[in-house]
Chain A
Amino acid sequence: MALNTSLDAHIPEGPLQQKWTQYRSTLPLVSPNNKRRIDVIVVGTGLAGASAAASLSELGYNVKAFCYQDSPRRAHSIAAQGGINAAKNYQNDGDSTYRLFYDTIKGGDYRSREANVYRLAEVSAAIIDQCVAQGVPFAREYGGLLANRSFGGVQVKRTFYARGQTGQQLLLGAYQALSKEIAGGGVKMYNRHEMLDVVLIDGVARGIIARDLVTGEIQRHGAHAVVLATGGYGNVFYLSTNAMGCNVTAAWKAFKRGAYFGNPCFTQIHPTCMPVKGEHQSKLTLMSESLRNDGRVWVPKTVEDAKAIVAGSIKAEELPEERRDYYLERMYPAFGNLVPRDVASRAAKLVCDEGRGVNESSQAVFLDFATAIQRDGEDAIRARYGNLFDMYERINATNPYKSPMKIYPAVHYTMGGLWVDYNLMTTVPGLFAIGEANFSDHGANRLGASALMQGLADGYFVLPYTIGTFLSGEIRTPRIDTNHAAFGEVEAQVKGRIDKFFSVGGNQSVESLHRKLGKIMWEYCGMARNAEGLQKAIGLIADLKEEFWNDVYVPGKAGDFNPELEKAGRVADFIELGDLMVRDALNRNESCGGHFREEYQQDGEALRDDNGYSYVAAWAFAGESQAPELNKENLVFEYEKPKTRSYA
């Protein structure tokens, strides 16, 4: 039941190149003495949340920041490896703001908003400056200047990096800025607290209900505005490269309180992860995309050779060159091993489905460094990727300097998220979403090293300005009273739900139910999807939801440190989200970026339908056990007309 009017994203007028600068100079401001009287809640302390909380506090707002970990520094941005993009053109290789904009729009398969993406490219350079000033130890050349490397989907070197730990270093920079503000009193930090719902008063977001994870206490926190920086929902697949605690709860509660969810089915499957093994596996580990700068991806040309390698009768490193298929180099000669992630993942699936995969389940391909080691020497490769190679060896007990790595695609990032306008505000006034939690900048596929860029862009350079559009109207609103009936009502719902978890008293652990959900999602809504499977998944998820609420067992007590209870809440929300993702995937009768519908392809390549689906699917909650309602934001491409993505 789609509505016909397009959602208004409040994109400013004017030419693309001037939208942001003009808009920024005309945004309503909040004077310094008024900022002191305004409270802002920031949930999540990854790159987006930490940078936003610190920057808002620097401006003078009173910030309350929340994270479920024992320290803001542990948010999962920490695990990003490869790098951060910025249009600095330090390498003199023809990079520019426009080119970064173009690469991102194209990489996203023309399903993102031009104005947002251009703004992202525009502020990217300032991010690098800010991070360097904070003491982020980026890689440098001998002359002392910043070094760059290349990443998938682009033909320039614009990725800044700190060995294989760029996310860690950037997050520590933001975390330190946040710590400075905590020390200064501008930010009150709540570690080991989880947001369980958002509170609306007269339709405006005015606070949250949070649970102190140590004592189990349910708390009310009021503020003039609430910012969600709660990351992505890849854990809906159970196995992903996300941290164990990553969850959709905050975004999902916002959805159920009226915020639209944009493009939930757009999931990024990262091509270079360690393959699945063993039924007790709890998570998948990523091997940075930067490895594709030097590593060559291949499988044997024949099924027989693949089988022989699995059986151990031929060693991979001894298979003659002419019997290997460097399929990315063969299929996409222009970009070779550095094609975008969705393309690389799909190609891996293609060759593995042919039976040429290199482990028992035929779900692995080789990433081979022999050529690079021969060319540059083992020491040079160690200097570039030493920590990644060590990690690989530790997990797999094989030496990647000697024999090729085995890799396979795995769920890594979710492009979908809460729908936001140009100001990063959701459809609930006063409720903002930044970083991976929103849907905004990556379209149907995110380019490598762009997540860090977007998180920090939102937190440092976008939200601190755009939140003023809302808060400038709030200067007469007194401090939010958490004794307001709305807080009581939501708090009662939160407590009721917790009681319900305990009252089921069934026989299945939360973990085992989560695993079941993951299997359904990966099977029917993973790397390849089709209408029949998606239809089936809707039924399976409904059954699983019922199973959950009839047979889950949650040990322990509510008023206690209880990780099982935390998981129960998260998995219950994932099950509901799974349903929405499947419906979104079913609605989108085209293939684009990370969304590959088997019915819509041409020679194995994704077949987009720009006439039918050049829109953001923004879903609205329509009530429990009601089908969600589809709203559309039509995407208008004024500067880069959609064309078939080609990396060949």
Chain B
Amino acid sequence: MAWLNAFLSSTIGQKVVVALTGLFLCTFLVVHMVGNLQLIWGTADKFNLYTYAMTHNKVIKVVSYLTYASIVLHAVMAIWVNRRNAGARPVGYAKKGTNSTWSSRNMVFLGVVILVYIVVHLYNFWFQLKFGEVGTVVIEGKHVKDLYPVVINAFQIPWLVALYVVSMAALSFHLIHGFQSGFQTVGVSHHKYTPFIKQLGIWVFGVLIPLGFAAVPIAVMILKDPIPIP
């Protein structure tokens, strides 16, 4: 296994870990997005069933552990790479010009914003669902935790909505660079396909998905009234 060790300690190997975990997390975002839209277009029941499925489905469970692992690996490896890269230029320039996009230079910063957001987000909902005092409803014969009002009520708080929107902006910039960068790092670079990947990264992952996520709290705040919890 010396080869694996060598690979994981190489600059390219470490970046590949960041890229693969990042790209995996992109697929997770798509799935998560579909669920979230239930809040706007679906009913309370549908949403609660969705959260039930997210916590009980075996496949989803496995995937969710993979997701947590990916987040941790992605962050730890990225920070490690960043430390190593900082050491490659011990003395900086007095006058620095720019020659690249802002997001590409600030991936770690954007990542940290997203990480803080993930912690807040998990505390708000996932933690409540697992350990908080959330009521139970019966839907289609199943005892399901009634997360729906928790969400609706949370998104009545303006600063929380603002945090979500700002975080999604960070996600947008993170993905505009990160999606295509991930493909480049794993060596998918081709005269024909790379331009397509770049557009996909910008418009779907950089714009559509973060907009979708940001739309939910905004829409809830504007459209839905708070639900009194019994």
Direct A–B contact present (CB less than 8 angstroms)? no
B residues with a Cβ closer than 8 A to A are none
- A contact residues vs B (CB 8 Å cutoff): none
